[in-house]
Chain A
Amino acid sequence: MLATQQNLEQNFSRIGYYNEVTVSVVLVKILEVMFVAGWAGSAIVLLLTGFEDVETLLDREDENSH
């Protein structure tokens, strides 16, 4: 009886541990998706704004030099 109770407690604590690990892994995966996808999108932003920057730099019209 006591052994069964101990087994149950161990199982519950293991389940709690696994739940904790699962939540952590899911959270890390969400962060990973956010960071990687975010960087991929930001790279496109850099590329597109980079082209625009070159155009802006080449366009000397209305430039104030003082």
Chain B
Amino acid sequence: MSSTSNSPLGSNRVRIVVATSVMLTFISYWRASAIILNDLGSSAFYACGIAEQAIGKSAPWFVLAVMLFAFAVRAVYVESCSMFVRGGVYRVVKEALGGTLAKLSVSALMFDYILTGPVSGVSAGQYIAGLINDTIAIADKHGWIPAAIHHLFHGTPQFNGNTTAVMFAVAVTLYYWWENIKGIEESSEKALWVMQVTTVMVVLLLGWSFFTLLKVGGHLPPFPTLANIHYSSESLGFWKHSSLPHTFAILGLIIGFGHSVLAMSGEESLAQVYRELAHPKLKNLKRTAIVIGMYSFLFTGLVSFLAVMLIPDNVRTQVYSDNLIAGLAMHMVGPEVLRLAFRAFVVVVGFLILSGAVNTAIVGSNGVLNRVSEDGVLADWFRRPHKRYGTTSRIINLIVGLQLFTIIVSWGNIYTLGEAYAFGVVWSFVFKTVSMLVLRYRYKGVRNWKVPPNFHIFGIEIPIGLASIAMVLLATAIVNLFTKSVATVSGIIFSVVFFCIFTFSEKVNRRKHAHNAAQMQEQFQLQVAESVERETVGIRPGNVLVPVRDYNTLNHLRWVLDRTDTHEQDVVVMTARTSQFGSAAYGLSAEQMFSDYEQTLFTRAVSIAESFGKRVSLLVVPARDPWSAIVQTAHNLESSSVAAGLSSKMTTAEQAFAVGSAWESTPEPKRQFVLQIVQPDGTVDTFRIGPHTPTMKDEDVVLLHRLWLNITREPGLENVHHHDILTEALTRFAHDYGERDREAIVKELQRQAAQDVPPAVRHSADSIPTTVQPAPDDSLRDDKHREDTPSAPKGDGSD
């Protein structure tokens, strides 16, 4: 049967169902908070140091004001997410202000994302360099440094902070570049663990600092009056020679606020995790917003104050301005060794959270560029998957190239990096908030929550709250344009260059896509569906799902087609369009989902099916995690088995474990299925996914049958089934395990496990039945009571 002649719609073209909703694994608000705080919390390590360098000792007041204001900004994100499930900057600005300004806002956001990496990497490097230098200095003080080394370095050996920071930042960036090229999964588990460790540090830091304050006393930082704001030579930028900042107190406040605004970078992540939040989504989003707001307020806000109160001015500004928390650790009361040990802990936590932020920057930038690329505003060339790993390596290369360039040009100067970073942060917030304001009048769809307060005058809504937030952000962004000359020049150049690339690419792509669409229409017919359903794909239950990714390794599809009678059992070829953390925040269209690559992949699949004279159904699903996508698709399509090829990165057992883990995290109800992994040499490993009937030994079956024969002879037990005996036996076993003979049972099972065989049932391809449908456990059946069979996968795929 030719694949091209059996389209359910009667067309000559092969029909491809393209699902547009990304298949996600939903997470709790704690995990969501951890993901965001990995970015938001990391700014505590450098924000106050940078602000103090710019405006002097009253900087903590501004940082505190920024952290307070961040509560208001997160309200904007809550409202945008209540309107669009994918409520990031690009989507909101595009809806409100159109494509041109959306491209401009994405350029500013990219500037923010790309700088997150260098600023975090360099900051971590500064903490490490500071720790090494201070440890050497203390060792030298105790005479532990040999005289020869002392002589060689003409004094105490010291590492150059900036050079060390650059080397470290480059190393970390390259490490995460390679991890992203390979396609590491974003793990909320890992983020949660990092935040747990960070919380231990924060509790110790705050507790010990307050104890120190009680012991030695301290003074609050000077209030932010014009007299107390001391501008550095760099902090006034284009207003260096102007009298305005020294004349108007309000300008001093805005300048100070503008220099501290980077403390709330990372709020955009709120929109990106929203899609993955578990039900009830909006309530959980609010909980997430509260958690991140309180955490960053306490961490970033209080640490800024404590640092200024506890570290002497000359030491703080000269030694610890780039590693303020380390300085705080060294100025607690207590033995020097203990303080040094705590500082080492601070550095370890800093390393974890800041290097995590480097990864977040790469993943986030990749997500945003993927999104705009899929929207046709970046050349398709960038999106072509890596030959081996299937990742968008060209986009990752571009991002990491820009980050490395930034690190080297700044040469470890955290102040310059932070100042530039603030440009992207504040302008992306401005675009977002102004767009939300416009959408109050233009958007007519569902909006579950609004930033309060709102009044109505003559039937017209006046969004006081939203307008207020927009005014503060806009005033700050305008003043920043004058006071942050490096950020303004570099930010504008970067944004304009990216904007031009986007605009030019869009024009080229529009022509190319028109041509491709015409070509594609000759071969494939795309049918868009919001979600994957068996009825939509037009297949029967009990089908075989064949996940494909690399068009050069489709042996498993050949294997399935060779053994499947497609008149009896449908074969669905599915590819998961991996959508990384970040890109899940954006909507996807069929054209975005079905790129040149998918076209080539399915052309090969159809060609193979035609060579067997069999029909296959084709499916594209977007997914955050391909394993989860396979499990969810198998569930939705009521597939009895999944036949996958061998991964280039994993063993068959690891693949099965990944599918099993995805199955475990899938919400109920869920179906069991058989996973078959076909290796290039034709060997097949079979795994049962989900709870399933165990394979019973022959002697156990005989024992069961004998018991059944004996029991049915008892008066009144003639109608007992085999499963009744198993139920009774298992109930007694559970009772014994729970109460009486736990230790004896465990010992016996351990003895048996030592003699057990591997879980996979390995056999050659030739021994597989003519259908990939696995044989059910017939050993448990007897002809008399066939309906008693436990829930092994059945021929019709029903449970």
Question: Would you give the 0/1 interface string for A24-66, flagging 1 where the beta carbon is closer than 8 Å to chain B?
Answer: 1000100110111111111011101110110011010011111
Whether B248 and A32, one on each chain, are in contact in the complex, defined by CB atoms closer than 8 angstroms, is yes
* Least Cβ–Cβ distance between A34 and chain B, in angstroms: 4
* Least Cβ–Cβ distance between A37 and chain B, in angstroms: 6
Q: Which residue of A lies closest to B247 (CB)?
A: A28
Question: Would you give the 0/1 interface string for B236-264, flagging 1 where the beta carbon is closer than 8 Å to chain A?
Answer: 00000000100010110110010000000
Q: Which residue of A lies closest to B468 (CB)?
A: A41
Q: How large is the interface on A (under 10, 10 to 19, 20 to 34, 35 or more residues)?
A: 20 to 34
Question: Would you give the 0/1 interface string for B442-470, flagging 1 where the beta carbon is closer than 8 Å to chain A?
Answer: 00000000011100000000001101111
- Which of B75, B286, B468, B478 lies at the interface centre, i.e. has the most chain A CB atoms within 10 A of its CB? B468
- The CA of A24 and the CA of B476, in the complex, are separated in Å by 16
A contacts with B: majority SS = helix
- The CA of A25 and the CA of B467, in the complex, are separated in Å by 23
Q: Which residue of B lies closest to A51 (CB)?
A: B452
Whether A28 and B248, one on each chain, are in contact in the complex, defined by CB atoms closer than 8 angstroms, is yes
* Least Cβ–Cβ distance between A24 and chain B, in angstroms: 6
Whether B465 and A56, one on each chain, are in contact in the complex, defined by CB atoms closer than 8 angstroms, is no
Q: Which residue of A lies closest to B452 (CB)?
A: A48
Q: Which residue of A lies closest to B277 (CB)?
A: A64
Contacts of A56 in B (CB 8 A): 283, 286-287, 290
- Which of B30, B244, B279, B475 lies at the interface centre, i.e. has the most chain A CB atoms within 10 A of its CB? B475
- The CA of A41 and the CA of B248, in the complex, are separated in Å by 22
Q: Which residue of A lies closest to B464 (CB)?
A: A41
Contacts of A64 in B (CB 8 A): 28-29, 278, 284
Known: A46-B68, A56-B290. A39 touches B28 (CB 8 A): no
Contacts of A34 in B (CB 8 A): 471-472, 474-475
Whether B71 and A38, one on each chain, are in contact in the complex, defined by CB atoms closer than 8 angstroms, is no
* Least Cβ–Cβ distance between B79 and chain A, in angstroms: 11
- The CA of A63 and the CA of B283, in the complex, are separated in Å by 9
Whether B471 and A28, one on each chain, are in contact in the complex, defined by CB atoms closer than 8 angstroms, is no
Known: A31-B479, A62-B279. A39 touches B472 (CB 8 A): yes
Contacts of A28 in B (CB 8 A): 244, 248, 250-251
Q: Which residue of A lies closest to B280 (CB)?
A: A62
B contacts with A: majority SS = helix
Contacts of B75 in A (CB 8 A): 45, 49
Whether B251 and A37, one on each chain, are in contact in the complex, defined by CB atoms closer than 8 angstroms, is no
Question: Would you give the 0/1 interface string for B644-661, flagging 1 where the beta carbon is closer than 8 Å to chain A?
Answer: 000000000000000000
- The CA of A46 and the CA of B66, in the complex, are separated in Å by 13
- The CA of A32 and the CA of B471, in the complex, are separated in Å by 10
* Least Cβ–Cβ distance between A19 and chain B, in angstroms: 15
- The CA of A52 and the CA of B290, in the complex, are separated in Å by 10
Q: Which residue of A lies closest to B28 (CB)?
A: A64
Question: Would you give the 0/1 interface string for B183-224, flagging 1 where the beta carbon is closer than 8 Å to chain A?
Answer: 000000000000000000000000000000000000000000
* Least Cβ–Cβ distance between A55 and chain B, in angstroms: 10
Known: A45-B72, A45-B452, A53-B290. A35 touches B244 (CB 8 A): no
- The answer to the question of B295 belonging to the interface, with a C-beta cut-off of 8 Å to chain A, is no
- The answer to the question of B231 belonging to the interface, with a C-beta cut-off of 8 Å to chain A, is no
- The CA of A26 and the CA of B533, in the complex, are separated in Å by 62
* Least Cβ–Cβ distance between B232 and chain A, in angstroms: 21
Contacts of A37 in B (CB 8 A): 468, 471
- The CA of A9 and the CA of B287, in the complex, are separated in Å by 66
- The answer to the question of B69 belonging to the interface, with a C-beta cut-off of 8 Å to chain A, is yes
Whether B475 and A44, one on each chain, are in contact in the complex, defined by CB atoms closer than 8 angstroms, is no
Whether A65 and B28, one on each chain, are in contact in the complex, defined by CB atoms closer than 8 angstroms, is yes
- The residue that A49 contacts in the complex, of B69, B71, B467, B474, with Cβ under 8 A, is B71
Known: A24-B244, A31-B475, A31-B479. A45 touches B451 (CB 8 A): yes
Interface of B toward A, CB cutoff 8 Å: 28-30, 68-69, 71-72, 75, 244, 248, 250-251, 253-254, 257, 278-280, 283-284, 286-287, 290, 451-453, 464-465, 467-476, 478-479
Known: A41-B469, A45-B468. 9 other contacts (CB 8 A): A28-B244, A31-B479, A34-B475, A35-B250, A38-B475, A49-B71, A56-B286, A64-B278, A65-B30
Q: Which 4 A-B pairs have the closest CB atoms?
A: A41-B468, A38-B471, A38-B472, A34-B475
